[in-house]
Amino acid sequence: MNDLTFSPHPGSDPDLLVRPFPGREEGPQGYLLRLSEVNCLRVSELIQLGIRYDPVWLARHRLLPDPALDPDLRAHVARLAQGLTNTGRIWNHRHARFCPLCLADEPLWRAGWELYFHDVCPRHGVWLVDQCGSCGQPLRWNRDALLRCQCGSDLRQETAKGAPENPRHLSAFLEARLLGRDAVVPVPMEGLDVDQVQRLIRYLGCYMDLGSGAKPLKLRNAGRMEISWSVTALAAEIVFDWPRAFHDSLNRLQESSAGEKTGLRGLFRNAYHYLYKGFREAAFRPLRESFELWLAEHWKGGLARRNRRLPAELLASVQWIPGTVAANQLKISIARLRNLVREGRIDGQESVSTTGRRFLVVRRDQLDQISSQLVGEMSMAAAMEMLGIGKVRMQRILRLLFPSARRTFDKAFLPWCVPRAEVDGLLAIGAHLPVQSIPDEQQVSLGYVFKYWTWSADEIVALVEAVKAGSLVPQAMLNSARGISRWVFETAQLRAWQQRLNKGPPKWVSIPEFARILGVKQQVAYWITQNGLVRAERLGVLKDIGSRIRWEDVERYRQTYVFGREIAEILRCSSRKAARLLAEQGIYPVRGHSAEPSRQLIYARSDEIQRFLVQATGASPGAFKLVRSLGPGDSD
Ligand SMILES: [Zn+2]
Ligand SMILES: [Zn+2]
């Protein structure tokens, strides 16, 4: 390889007859050969003249246009020059390779061709050529002419052989990384530079190859097509089917080594050496994680005994552990663990084997955290017991009382979890109050209210919140009851409080009420909530409770959306015609993810609609009110 950056005569101006500029996709070595050819020199003579592939040097010697004229070209040269200086090992400068079709299109040596493991032409999808079809010799860099073999035959006449798609994508990706352009990025190569991509190709293409022998990564003549094509072909198939193909390869590797002396231990020791020592940069994390996912499965699987002697250092660095191991540590069922993963509370991945076996792995480093969270929760049954609230009532008020309560599973029949701290907080209220065995005549306990007063769930929640806020204070505690049902109030005060509560505007409306307010069918109101046009809060597990909407959110909805029907009223035309007129203005109804409600078009209130109505009706702005102000009375 010639040293393209070293100059023995830094100051002198080489005596060149012709000074062509480099191309914007041209490789450095290819450019020097082209430059030497047009000047009837050899590359070695050019180097002796002090030529350096460096933007400053080339510009000073009139081999680059003024940077202001072609900043892109200068950036290209600067990028490659930097690559030459910093990462010399990415360049395949011992061997020359090319795409005959590209050369026939344009007599330039493309930069990608000078990279290791860039084996396929991204444009034509053919394998690159590095051996002359006439003389049978490897093509040399110290030939005289860019477009001819050292034997004189025309390189553009070489036959190009079609290559598979994945190696082609891989070459396109390598070239794009070199030139700083966009391309399809294979998953494990995200964030890798050219050097890292090449190392990964070498690893996957050699190490995953069953026939590669004892020292698979020792690759002689990696720059020759006859050596490199099989490496890139295998690597490309693996990276573009990630991580499945990677895991399949590891399985095959394991099977093939099962009967041999090295066995699994050897396999893992090598993997450890390469993956954790060779690929220690952060950018290789997806690679290491994929390996750990596979390892965790086999560590746990039928091979567990045999794998017991895995290198300790490998196990220590493994982040993923089998779900069954994690579930045991957390003292929860595997189904519960699976649900924690689904809720995003712990990172996990699940695979399904060809035999249908499900296999879950989770991040070990998150177990401590999740474990402390689980300790902080109690089941709804336990909370009900402690608070002294009956089951049916609790289900109704649970979501209202504990906004952070959650169901342990998605399914309706599975239990809820209540934050222990909130339950404890409620129980602590009134701890200082006098304890009674029977309430006075003018007093009533909350337990009695639960049983005999027909209070709604909202009223009970409001009462608990009022007590928490200190605006309503229990007078004593009843010792025959449990939890908050021990609270004793003055009957008259409680009655008055309830009346005041119901005089104020309603805080919440149900979906049927919401539909009545809007003057639409319930089906439309459900569509509006399902598609998130208004925020609705699901209540409890019981079907008949459904969802409810805050009054402010009803108002907010009214300020944000308008029915096509209302616009039609203003325009004094049919809804259908109004929709057409609006569509002509490029104004379309809101769309949702579920099927649209029949014949009720909903529009976002916008300046365009306002302007259109002003124009269409000839009215002055503000002559009609798109926003009807709503009062609580409207909900009746
Ligand atoms: Zn080509
Ligand atoms: Zn030849």
Q: DSSP code of 276?
A: I
DSSP SS3 for 588: coil
pLDDT value at residue 584: 86
Residue 179 CA to ligand 1 center (angstroms) comes to 17
Reported as type and span, the H/E element at residue 537 is strand 537-538
Residue 150 CA to ligand 2 center (angstroms) comes to 6
Residue 306 or residue 281, greater confidence: 281
Give yes or no for a contact between 37 and 142, defined as CB atoms under 8 angstroms apart.
Answer: no
Residue 149 CA to ligand 2 center (angstroms) comes to 5
Give yes or no for a contact between 528 and 511, defined as CB atoms under 8 angstroms apart.
Answer: no
Torsion, Cα 230 235 237 243, to 10 degrees, reads 160
CA atoms within 13 A of residue 509's CA, in its CB half-sphere: 26
Q: What is the torsional sign of CA 139, 144, 147, 150?
A: negative
* Residue 628 confidence class, pLDDT cut points 50, 70, 90: very low
- d(C-alpha 101, C-alpha 124), whole Å: 7
Structure tokens at 622: 């503000």
pLDDT value at residue 500: 84
Cβ of 206: how many Cβ atoms within 10 Å? Answer: 21
Residue 220 CA to ligand 2 center (angstroms) comes to 23
* Residue 268 confidence class, pLDDT cut points 50, 70, 90: low
List CB-based neighbours of ion ligand 2 within 5 Å: 132, 134-135, 149, 151, 153
Residue 598 CA to ligand 2 center (angstroms) comes to 75
* Residue 410 confidence class, pLDDT cut points 50, 70, 90: very low
Residue 183 CA to ligand 1 center (angstroms) comes to 17
Q: How far is CA 629 from CA 533, 602, 632, in A?
A: 18, 18, 10
pLDDT, one tens digit per residue, over 233-251 is 999 999 999 988 998 888 8
- d(C-alpha 399, C-alpha 405), whole Å: 6
Q: What is the torsional sign of CA 242, 248, 252, 257?
A: positive
* Residue 412 confidence class, pLDDT cut points 50, 70, 90: very low
Residue 1 CA to ligand 2 center (angstroms) comes to 20
Residue 225 CA to ligand 1 center (angstroms) comes to 15
pTM: 0.54
Q: How far is CA 96 from CA 114, 181, 221, 513, 596, in A?
A: 7, 24, 12, 78, 62
Is pLDDT above 80 for 232?
yes
Residue 95 CA to ligand 2 center (angstroms) comes to 14
Nearest to 463 by CA among 421, 495, 415, 504: 495
pLDDT, one tens digit per residue, over 461-485 is 888 888 988 888 899 998 888 888 8
Share of the chain above pLDDT 70, in %: 81
Residues 6+ apart with CB under 8 A from 409: 335, 336, 339, 415
pLDDT value at residue 130: 95
Reported residue count of the chain is 636
Give yes or no for a contact between 169 and 117, defined as CB atoms under 8 angstroms apart.
Answer: no
Residue 202 CA to ligand 2 center (angstroms) comes to 29
Cα angle value 247/249/251 (rounded, 5°)? 70
Give yes or no for a contact between 90 and 194, defined as CB atoms under 8 angstroms apart.
Answer: yes
| pLDDT (mean) for 20-48 | 93
Residue 90 or residue 255, greater confidence: 90
Residue 89 CA to ligand 2 center (angstroms) comes to 27
Give yes or no for a contact between 233 and 167, defined as CB atoms under 8 angstroms apart.
Answer: yes
Residue 145 CA to ligand 2 center (angstroms) comes to 12
Residue 23 CA to ligand 2 center (angstroms) comes to 26
Residues 6+ apart with CB under 8 A from 572: none
pLDDT, one tens digit per residue, over 292-325 is 778 776 654 433 444 444 555 555 566 777 787 7
pLDDT, one tens digit per residue, over 92-110 is 999 999 999 999 999 999 9
Residue 32 CA to ligand 1 center (angstroms) comes to 21
Give yes or no for a contact between 274 and 203, defined as CB atoms under 8 angstroms apart.
Answer: yes
| pLDDT (mean) for 245-271 | 69
